[in-house]
Amino acid sequence: MKNIYAYVRVSSNKQNEARQVKELLDLGILKNNIIIEKATGKNFNRNKYNNLLKCLNSGDILYISSIDRLGRDYDGIISEWNRLIKEMKVAIRVLDMPLLNTDKDKTNLMDKFICDIVLMTLAFQAEQEWNNIKSRQKAGIAIAKENGKKLGRPKAIYPEATIKTINEWKNGILSLDEAMKKIGRKKSTFYRLVQELK
C-alpha cells in the first residue's frame, strides 16, 4: 500500500510554513504525514528530513511545494532527486511544477529530456537565489558596520548591586555561596554572569 507524505521547509523560525501546509492539507494529505522543518536548505543534513527518508518505502509518494523547499544546493538537489526516484523508488510530486511529477509515465525520451532540463534549471535557480540572499546579507552587514550600528544581541545590562557583588567575590570579600545568595543566582548562572561582565 502506498503512503503519501509531504515535506515542508522554511529557513528559519521567523518564516511561516502555513501557506505550504494549507496547500497540502487541501489536497487531502494527512496532517501527521506532513513533515515540517525549520532549517537551511544549503545541504541535506537535516534531522526531520532524514527521519522522513527512513519512513519512505518503494511506491510511496512525496509532495513538495517547490524544488527550493527540497533544498538550495544544485548538486545536492540533483543527487537527492535521483536517490529518491531511482534508488528508493519514491514518486515525487512538485506542486508548483507538475511537469516534474515522477509518477506520470515518461517513457518518451523527449519528455525525460525536458524534465531533466527543468529540474536542472530550478536547482540552479534555488542555489543562485540562496547565494544572492547571502550576498545581500553580507552587503547589509557591511553597510550597517560602516554606519556605526552594533550588530548581534544587545549587551545585557545588570543592576549595580549585581556588578558590586561579583566584584566583591572576585576580590575575595565574599565567598561563592554568599555572592550567589546575595544576587539569587545558581552556580552555572553566576559563572555565566561573571563571563558576561568581563
Specify the 3-state DSSP secondary structure of 85.
Answer: helix
What span, in angstroms and rounded, lies between the C-alpha atoms of 19 and 8?
Answer: 10
Q: Could you give the CA distance from residue 142 to residue 140 in angstroms, rounded to a whole number?
A: 5
Which of 11, 12, 66, 175 is flagged as catalytic? Answer: 11
Instruction: Calculate the CA 169 to chain-centre distance.
Output: 43
Q: Taking CA 190 as the corner, what is the angle to CA 174 and CA 177, rounded to the nearest 5 degrees?
A: 35
Q: Could you count the other beta carbons within 10 Å of the beta carbon of residue 77?
A: 23
Question: Catalytic: 12?
Answer: no
Q: Are 43 and 77 in contact (CB under 8 A)?
A: no
| Contact by Cβ (8 Å): 58, 91 | no
Active-site positions read: 11
